[in-house]
Amino acid sequence: MSNEPTQQIYDSTAPSTEDRDARMGQGVDARMNSKLREAFGASPFILTKFDQFMNWVRGSSMFMLQFGIACCSIEMIHSYAIKHDMDRFGAGVPRASPRQADVIIVPGTIVSKFGPRMKRVYDQMPEPKFVVGMGSCTISGGPFQEGYNVVKGAEEIIPVDIHVPGCPPRPEALIYGVAKLQERIANGESSPVVVKPYELEQFGDLPQDELVQKLADQIDEDDLVMRYNWSDSP
């Protein structure tokens, strides 16, 4: 040890790599010290916008809602299962409860009876939430478009971020759609939430027309209803 204090001080502030090596420990453990860690060097900090960081996190760890409706859900299950394994993209943990999910894949035809229920499930998800519409039925009603009971696309009821066309789309197509969604989320883009043609309303708030008067003794004033104006549908 040197007896000269200045020299001691000089040595201690030298920009050396010793500190980094000390911090990284003897014999680099390949598992713990990633390339990223090495690149950060002595100061393991990066500067980024918090927003950007959060978006990156959101996109890289998506909890999907386990939501099966129709034919497309079979291909959706295949995307989660062996071979296609959507977990590779950080999007493979289906949650049974909407309260734990942040992405909902709508895999199938929405019919009148299911519309209000889907709206309710969507409303139960915490913000920020994203929607992938899977298959032609969620775009326009698909092959069932002319049906008396079929809602002409999921977008009539909830906002949709990504549409995956096909009847049904292959698992590869769904995974591409999810990857595109991740890209959008990482860039901070999402679809605007606007009022949709079909909303849940209290029965008492509806304008008094023929249909409302006919149903007045069947439905309570505070009951939630969804009114389908089929003639206005695309």
The binding site for other proteins (CB under 8 A) comprises 66-71, 73-75, 77-78, 80-83, 94, 96, 98, 108-109, 111-121, 143-144, 146-150, 167-168, 170, 200, 203, 211-212, 214-215, 218-219, 223-231
Q: Which is nearer to other proteins, 56 or 203 (CB)?
A: 203
Gap between the Cα atoms of 80 and 62, Å rounded: 13
- Name the minimum Å distance from CB 68 to other proteins: 6
Q: Using CB atoms within 10 A of its CB, is residue 199 exposed (0-12), middle (13-18) or buried (19+)?
A: middle
Q: Which is nearer to other proteins, 66 or 140 (CB)?
A: 66
- Name the minimum Å distance from CB 191 to other proteins: 22
Separation in Å, CA 144 to CA 33, 76, 148, 200: 55, 20, 9, 23
Gap between the Cα atoms of 79 and 188, Å rounded: 25
Gap between the Cα atoms of 143 and 72, Å rounded: 13
Q: Which is nearer to other proteins, 80 or 130 (CB)?
A: 80
Q: Which is nearer to other proteins, 57 or 215 (CB)?
A: 215
